[in-house]
A = this chain, B = another copy of it.
Amino acid sequence: MHFEELIKIVKERRDNLQVTQEYLAQLSGVGLRTLKQFESGKGNPTLQTVQKIADVLGLEVSLKLKDVTRNQ
């Protein structure tokens, strides 16, 4: 999963939940500036930052063996 995909998932999830960046920042404890940077693809957030955001959105960061079969 590339960076852009991760961003897309966060943005989509946030939109679905109808939460603004501002409110998500508050809820997650991540600075608004940091969140803005992340969502606009400018950042290289730390794992902690990503996890804080993910937590609030009901998302989960995971690390798994890449599927080599490549379909499904």
Q: Which residues of A contact B (CB under 8 A)?
A: 1, 3, 5-6, 9-10, 13, 44-48, 50-51, 54, 58-66, 68
Contact = CB atoms under 8 A, between A and B. Distances in A.
Contacts of A60: 1, 63-66
B59 A65 contact: yes
B47 A58 contact: no
Contacts of A58: 65-66, 68
A65 B10 CA distance: 10
Nearest to A3: B47
Contacts of A64: 9, 59-60, 62
Contacts of A44: 46-48
B48 A47 contact: no
